[in-house]
Amino acid sequence: MPARVTWSQYRTSIGDRSGMFAALADEYPIDRVLYPGSYVDLSPSTAFRSVTYVDTDARAARFFADDEQIRAELAGRTRPGAGREVQFLAADYNRPLDIPDASMDLLVALYAGPMLDHTMRYLRPGGWLLANNSHGDAGLASLDPSCRLVATIHHRGDRYRLSPDGLADYLIPKRAPDADAGRIRATGRGIAYTKTAFAYLFQLN
């Protein structure tokens, strides 16, 4: 049996991302969230009503199967109306998921990609993509004409800031040849940019 792991334990290594999702909830009408490669990062459920988590890790499956643990982890940490639906799919996001197409308001792509080729189908028109550069998802989105950068996310410790300013200064490759979607998919690595943020928020046209 896999060792038990909790969100509170995981936060000691990655930090608490709740502030980032709270900032998004303050600015955008987001209700349904898809978080592929989530492991046990429960932070989106502190800000949004419905979150579907996806992972193949048996420890994540064990964590999300314990409803009492989930309630205990979220107790006193949620915004009004948040955390009502916490769903988990023990699945590989590279294969079709049991989720209707165009049904999600926000797709989270952090440290688990590149995933956009397989998961963008679940994001509704006008929905938002939160991506970082770790495995190239931000780079893929920046090269996709259907995605428009609307904000950058910055943080210091557990304090997050959402900024819509100076967007033209971001996602500029240090080396022009690196801005190639095929290369990103093949290597699974992000592009080196002249100016960086923790994460980037795109809106689907």
- Cα–Cα dist 127/10, whole Å: 28
Q: In what order do the strands lie in the sheet with 32-36?
A: 85-90, 50-55, 32-36, 104-109, 123-131, 199-204, 147-156, 159-163
Please, what is the end-to-end C-alpha distance for the chain in angstroms?
44
- Report the candidate in 48, 41, 43 with the shortest Cα–Cα distance to residue 25: 48
All structural domains of the chain with their residue ranges: 7-204
Can you give the pLDDT at residue 127?
Answer: 98
Task: Please state the pTM of the whole predicted model.
Answer: 0.95
**Mapping DSSP to helix (H, G, I), strand (E, B) and coil, where does residue 107 land?**
strand
Q: Tell me the two tokens of residue 90.
A: 């023990």
Centroid of chain to Cα 79: 19
Question: 7-204, superfamily in CATH?
Answer: Vaccinia Virus protein VP39 (3.40.50.150)
Can you give the pLDDT at residue 1?
Answer: 58
- Cα torsion 123, 125, 130, 134 to 10°: value is 70
Going from the first residue of the chain to its last (205 residues), give the mean pLDDT of each consecutive group of 10, the final group possibly shorter. Answer: 83 94 98 98 98 97 96 96 98 96 98 93 98 94 97 94 97 91 91 95 96
Can you give the pLDDT at residue 157?
Answer: 86
